[in-house]
Every structure is written in structure tokens, then in C-alpha cells.
Structure 1
Amino acid sequence: MNEALRRALLQAHLTDHQLAERCGVDIKTVGRWITETGRVPHARHRWAVCEALGEDEAVLWPTAARKAIKVGPDREVVSVYPYRSGCPASLWRSLITKAERELTFAGYTNYFLWLEQARFGTALQRKAAHGCRVRFLLGSPDSDLTRSRERDEDVALTLSTRIRVTLAELEKIRRQPGIDARFSDGHAHLSVFRFDDDMIVTPLLTHSVGHDAPTLHLRRHQDDGMFDRFASHVEELWGRGNPVWECGDDG
């Protein structure tokens, strides 16, 4: 029996029938994936299962993952999405849930996280309480750059409004030790979200909003690879950033 697949189904609160519908296969096929040792679905079905369950292929079918393992400089690229909106919410949830040391959200507004992740603030507080470092790098809602980008975006829900939503949500949890936030303009066109050794990177294109940005899912496998390059970028911006809350501010 594929115990990893069975556990992932339980954790995702999906039935065999629901998974079959999402993957476009018969329920008996899903049953064979679970019960027949060594059975590996076609690649397109493996990817559909991983997306539905928010789990990695290497966990569900390690043999198939080993056969497809990359050895070149692109081996840190796990997945590519033409649009951030195409990156499953279940993947974000899985990465947040599994992180134990580091959660860094260096999006210019980070607004979508509060919208798409249920009880996001509670999850962050729980992570911080167990020793995970939680950081937010935000654009300033009153900066000239923000106003310039608002003119480029030309959408009803302005950039500054989205930033202020995040600030209001962070205000509710900021007294939890381990949660910190800083302002920076250096990531206005490149969002980086880190979850321990996993990372989601979204380079913003001209006149586009974040959910339209092409998106990479990276996993660290080497020193000074793509993962480390983006991580260093964020660390430099964090070091230069201005605290959202002044020391001793109880407001």
C-alpha cells in the first residue's frame, strides 16, 4: 500500500472519489494507486494529485522522482507557473504548515495571503510560538514608488490599500515574539516568499499585478544556487529596511 498517498488524502480531507474527479480518472484507478505496491501513475496524473493534495511528488512516489531527478543548475526549480494565481493555494498552505525555522514574506503587499489562507494570522502566531522566525517585508503605503506603481496598475483596490490591510492584520499579532515587519522599496518588482528550504519567487512584469506574475517554486539543493541568490537578496533588503513598529511603540 502507498501509505504516503493514503496519509496525504486524509490530511487533505479528500475522499478517493473527490481525488478521482480532480484528476479526471476513475475511482478504481485511484484505488489501485493506493493499494497496489509500486504502481506509479502517469506524470500528468502525478502532478494533478500533488496539486490536489498540496504534497511533493518525491513524497508520494519517490521512485519516479528519483528517475526524474535533475543534476544541472536548474535542479532547484521544482515547478513553474505562468501566473501566480495558477500556483495552488494548497501548495502555499503546505509550505507554511511544514516550515519550522523560517517564514519570510517579501511581497510588496502580501495582501493575497490574508485573503487566501484561512486563519493565516493564527497559523503565524503558532509558528512563532514554536521558534519559527516570521518576517514580512512590505512596501511603504505612502512612498513615491507605491504611488507610481498604483498609476501603472490602475486597479480599484490600490496598492497602498492592500499594504494597509496587511499592516492592520499584522497589528493584531505583532506582540507575539518572533514576528517582525519592515518597509522596503527594493523588492517592488520581485516578490520572494521563503519557507525553510522552499521558496516561491514572482518577478513582476510591467503594468501587471502580483497574481499575474510568472512564478517559480524553488527548493535549496546547493550553495550559491538560485535559492541562495534570492535569499541573499532578501537578507540585504531586510538589513536596509525600516521597522514597521518603533521600539517601545505600544500603539
Structure 2
Amino acid sequence: MNERLHSVLAQRGVSPESLAEACAVDPKTVGRWLGGRVPHPRHRFSVARHLRVEETFLWPGRALRGGRPGRDPGGSEILGTYQNRASVPRETWLALLQGAQRQVDVLIFSGTFFAQTNPHVTRMLAERAAAGVRVRLCFGDPRGRAVATRGREEGIGDTLAAKIRASLTYYRPLLSEAGCEVRLHDTTLYNSLFRYDDDLMVNPHVWGQPASANPLFHLRRADATGWFDNYAQSFDAVWAGARPWRPDHEGTAAHGQD
């Protein structure tokens, strides 16, 4: 049984009959997909587009649109694009985190959504670290100039710094976990980055708009000369210049809030 397809249909409120109509197939065919049969590539693409989810989430390890696994026929590293970060299904974030085997890297300003859309994110990160995954979380320095500038650009002033302090409270338990590090950066961010092994979610920043309202694209590493490595190297550069988070010296909020 394809549990992921069942789950997405339920969450989207789409019946098997409606999906069959959208994909121009018999409802019995959708029933076989739900039972575990893998659709033809063109139908996988139609299902993913109609349900607003990636093919690789519904059918992990399968080729995209007839191309190589994890790459489109043109050899691009782009697996999928989203109109805004808020439209990325929660299941996609969970699957990426749960599937990480080597590293999880996050580069953001506040990232309040990261914990609030998944109340178990701290426990899950700790579990991945216990399994040998390197976890690196890099937040904006609430006392830094970059955060002050970004707050002014978004028209929210000091609210961004307050959101960072609130967001950090979720991650205090990770400081005692081997393999987990939390740092603060004072760098202009052109993108928020979320890396899970060879998968990378890139959330470009549009001037004056919150990151949640900006587009997001999903990359999968193809080779050392592609987009993926350029973004990964930018994370490493920011990480190298960031300072360790020491909550007892930061004046961090006592309770998380949005």
C-alpha cells in the first residue's frame, strides 16, 4: 500500500475518483496505485502536479519524468519548485529529516516555522544525531546588524530579533547532544538553506518580504560543479564565521512564540 499517496489525498481532500479524472485514468487504476503499483512516468508527474507534492515523495527512488533518479531528463539538479515556502507539504519536510543519514544543515534568520510545523523537530534532530548524523543549525544573531537591517526591510523592526530569540528556545536541549551544534551568524542572507544529505531546499529572499512568502526550490546533488555545491559552500562559509550560541549569555526568551 502506498501510505504516502493515501495520506496526501486525505490531507488535500481529494478523492480517488477526482484524482482519476484529473489524470484521465480509470478510478480502478488509482485504486491500484493506492495499493502499491507504481504509475507510468507521465501519470506520476500528473499526480504530483495535481496534489502539489514531489514525485520522489510519493514514489521514493523513482525517476522523474522518465529521466535518471533524482534528475530531470535535461540533467538539472532541480527536483521541484514551489510558489512559496508555505506551500511545501509538511510530509516533505518530515521525510527529508527522517531520511538524513550523514548531515542536516540549516541556515536561517528565525526559522520559527521549522519547529512550529513539527513540534517534535528537536527530538527528531537528536535522534538523527544519535544515529551519527551531523546536525548544524545557524540562526541570525538577534544582536547583529544583519538582523536589524532585515527587520527594517520587512517593516517589522525589532520583531525579527524577538522571533529569533523565541525560536532558539526550542533548540536548547540540542546543546547537550553529541553531534549537534547551534551557531549565530551576522551575515546578509540571500537564501535560507535546509540541507539533508544530498537534498537541499533553497528559499530565496525577496527584498521586503518574509521568507515564507518567497519561492522555494528543491535541489538534489548531481556533481561537484552544480548549483548544489555552490549553495553548500556558502553554508560552510557562513558557518565558519558564526559564533556558538550560549543561551545563558543571550537573554533568550523563556517561551517559544511566533
TM-score normalised over the length of structure 1: 0.81
**Superposed displacement of residue 162, structure 1:** 1.7
- Which piece of structure 1 moves more, 100-109 or 156-165? 156-165
CA contact (8 A) 1:50 1:56 kept: no
- In structure 2, C-alpha distance between the alignment counterparts of 1:19 and 1:239, rounded to whole Å: 46
Q: Structure 1 residues 154, 54: closer, same or farther in 2, change over 3 A? A: farther
Distance 2:52 2:87 in 1: 14
Aligned to 2:187: 186
Q: Name the residue aligned to 1:43.
A: 45
Q: Name which of structure 1's ranges 61-70 and 168-177 shifts more when overlaid on structure 2.
A: 61-70
Q: Does the C-alpha gap of structure 1 residues 21 and 191 become closer, same or farther in structure 2, counting only changes over 3 Å?
A: same
The amino acid of 2:33's aligned partner reads W
Q: Which amino acid aligns with 1:30?
A: V
Residues in 2 aligned to 1:220 and 1:243: alpha-carbon distance in whole angstroms: 28
3-state DSSP class of the match of 1:142?
Answer: coil
Matches within 5 A, 1:1-251: 6=2, 8-9=4-5, 12=7, 20=15, 24-25=19-20, 28-34=28-34, 39-40=39-40, 41=43, 43-48=45-50, 51=53, 55=57, 57=59, 59=61, 62=63, 64-66=65-67, 70=72, 72=74, 75-155=76-156, 158-245=159-246
Deviations 1:23-55 (A, max 9, x none): 644753421324596642263224345728971
Q: Secondary structure at the match of 2:223?
A: coil
The one-letter code sitting in structure 2 at the alignment partner of 1:32 is R
Q: CA shift at 1:110, angstroms?
A: 1.8
Kindly provide the amino acid, as one letter, of the partner of residue 51 in structure 1. Answer: V
The one-letter amino acid paired with 1:31 is: G
Give TM-score, length-normalised by structure 2.
0.79
Whole-Å separation in 2 of the counterparts to 1:154 and 1:35: 50
**Is the 2:5–2:58 Cα contact (8 Å) retained in structure 1?**
no
Bigger Cα displacement from structure 2, 42-51 vs 184-193: 42-51
* 1:108-161: CA deviation from partner (whole Å, max 9, x where unpaired): 112110111131111011111111011111111112221222122124992112
- Structure 1 stretch displaced more, 220-229 or 140-149: 140-149
Q: How many angstroms apart in 2 are the aligned matches of 1:36 and 1:128?
A: 32
Measured in 2, the distance between the counterparts of 1:44 and 1:150 equals 40
Aligned-partner residue type, residue 112 of structure 2: Y
Residue aligned with 1:55, SS: helix
The range that moved more, 62-71 or 151-160, is: 62-71
Q: Distance in 1 between the 2:64 and 2:232 partners?
A: 30
2:137/2:182 contact within 8 Å kept: yes
**CA 187–28 in structure 1, closer or farther in 2 if over 3 Å, else same:** farther
How many residues are treated as equivalent by the alignment?
240
**Per the alignment, in what secondary structure is the counterpart of residue 217 of structure 1?**
strand
Instruction: Give the distance between the partners of 2:91 and 2:242, measured in 1 at CA.
Output: 30
- What CA deviation, in whole Å up to 9, does each residue of 1:82-129 have, x standing for no partner? 211122221111111100110011011121101111311110111111
Closer, same or farther: CA 163–63 of 1 in aligned 2, 3 Å: closer
SS in structure 1 at match of 2:203: strand
* Deviation, structure 1 residue 236: 1.1
Corresponding residue SS for 2:176: coil
Task: Tell me how large the CA RMSD over aligned residues is.
Answer: 3.3
CA positional deviation for 1:14 = 7.0
